[in-house]
Every structure is written in C-alpha cells, then in structure tokens.
Structure 1
C-alpha cells in the first residue's frame, strides 16, 4: 500500500500539493468573511475541490488511459483501481475535513454532516465522470475541457439550467441542511456508483 501511494504521488507531481494550497487560502477566506456568508464559503469549497478531484483522478490514471500502454498497464491496475481511489479520497479529505471543522467553528448555523455527505458524493460522481470521459476519448485535455465548461455553465446559470444535471449546491439564500441536500446527495451517489460500473465495463 505504501509503495502504491508513493507511485501515485509521483504521477500527480505538483498537483499533489494543491489541496494544501487551497486549504491555506480557504482558511484565510473563512476567518475573513462576515458571519452571515457561510453559503458563500460552501459554494467556494465546492468550486475549488471538485475541479481538483477531476484533475487528480485523470492524472492518477494517466499511465493507464493516456499513454497508449493500456494492455501492459492493465496487468497492474486491474487489482488496484479501488485501492488507488480509496487512498486518493482519504488524502484529499484530510484538508477538506479540516476546513469543514474550521467552518463549523466560525459559523454557528453551519451543519457538518450534510456538507460532508454532499462533498463525498460530489467527489465520487465527478471522479467517475472524469474517468469515463478519459476512457472514451483517450485524451486528458478533452475531459478537463468538458468539466470546466460544465462548471462554467453551472456558474453562469447558478444551477438553474434545465438542460444540465446539477451536482452542486449553489443556493446563497437557504442554509445547507439534510432536508435540502439528501435528494441531491443520493442522486450523486447513485449516478456515481452506476458510472463506476460503466467505467469498469469500458476498460475490461
């Protein structure tokens, strides 16, 4: 497991340090923003970590899907895909959970469990969609472009477009809680798990 973590750390290169850079920047933002703007922090948290999840996922599996050596690399990956994803989520969630604790300390009305549930399912579905796009197109630039186009469209319409599936919670007026996130989190989880099955079918 340690050897696997070291190998994948080299695959990420400088991207490995981005979560800590985001963590430091977000800490300054959390403790500098007025008390009544917790929803702005939640939106910013989603819009920084979810693109990072997509990029991390693509480069974690770049040597499998992007180098033209699939048959050779598959011998290594076929028993390690789940291990890599679990390690990746654990490493990513350390700074993310630390930020959520800081938000809970800073804002009285903040609820920890709904945002954790939402962020986990957002990370799952965005990672899986990234892998499916990479497996289909075989070019890392295409999923990155499509993902950033999707996020740009979500921001431009603030989650109101009827033509897009909305993985984000972009409501600045209503406090995030179990009532307004449970259906979104469950849908993200369902689509993420189904998408992972599709990804496995594409590469096996």
Structure 2
C-alpha cells in the first residue's frame, strides 16, 4: 500500500486534500512526521525516509516519489477512475502535466521570491514575476471556471493551494479571486483543514 509522509500545516496538506478528493483514504497510509519550520521550530524526523527530511514524500513498495507535482501525477495516474488527472492518451494530458510543472518550476519560486522580497533581473528572466504568473492564470481562466475547463482537477488544487496559506499573496484580479474561492470551497479541503485544526488523525 502506498504511504504518504506528511507534516500538518505544511505543503503536504494539499496531497491529503487530493487523497480525500479522490476517495483514497482507505488505500493510502498516512504517517505524520515533523519537519524543520521556517520559524526555527521542528526538525528532521527519523521516521521520514525522504533524503532531505522534507514532505510530502510518497513510497509505494520499492518506489518513491517526491515533489508535489510528481506525487499528484503519480496518484492520478495510479487511480484514473477518480477523475482528478488526465491519463496518458487524454487530449488534455499535455496541459495537465504543463500546469503541474509550471507550478513547481515557475509559480512556487515566484511566490517565494516575492514573499522574501528578493529582486534581481536574472530571477525575473528565469522565473517571471508575480504579475506574469497572475496574467497566465487569468488567461487560462478566461471564459471557464477551472484551469482545464468546466471541471475541477488536481491542477486547480495545486495551483490554488498557496493562497490558502499566504492570503497576503492573494491576487487582485476578480476572476482569480473567484477561482481561488471556488477551490477553497471544496468539501475535501474543508474536511482536511478541520481535522488538522482539531489535531485529529488524518
């Protein structure tokens, strides 16, 4: 059975939400571990096999997957019947993978750089800036409620997730704010967040 190593109130929460959305709670073990936090608290957990002590980390037999985009692709490919990915052969397979890689390679670095107030022409040339990221999202959402069309998918979950944690990064564009609100209103997200607030088992 696949095992997810998770730290509450961290990036790995979005993978818990995906598991909830896909109805996989009884098919994936979740082990809570500690991680080093930005405020200096916490630290590596010997129970966590991630080579850098990070989360999320998914193991499946002898195989292992790190990075949220990769874990999302792995789980949605393993369980295509849940309908949250775009399997091989689907006409939106390329778009689905592109959004996952865009998040990991562009959007999250840009958000972190903006939060840290770091500015340099090389950073903007490599990663773009926040305005460019918001423009790309706005373009994708023009005339449709979600990034891939009428239906919510795992890419909406991933790309909207930072704004659940960094409300100060919330875009001003009404269409983006409405999309973020739609994603935040999902019952799976509310259920996971409520369990974490209450300190209940995931």
TM-score for both structures, normalised by structure 1: 0.31
Higher relative contact order (CA 8 A, sep 6+): 1
Bigger strand fraction: 2
Bigger helix fraction: 1
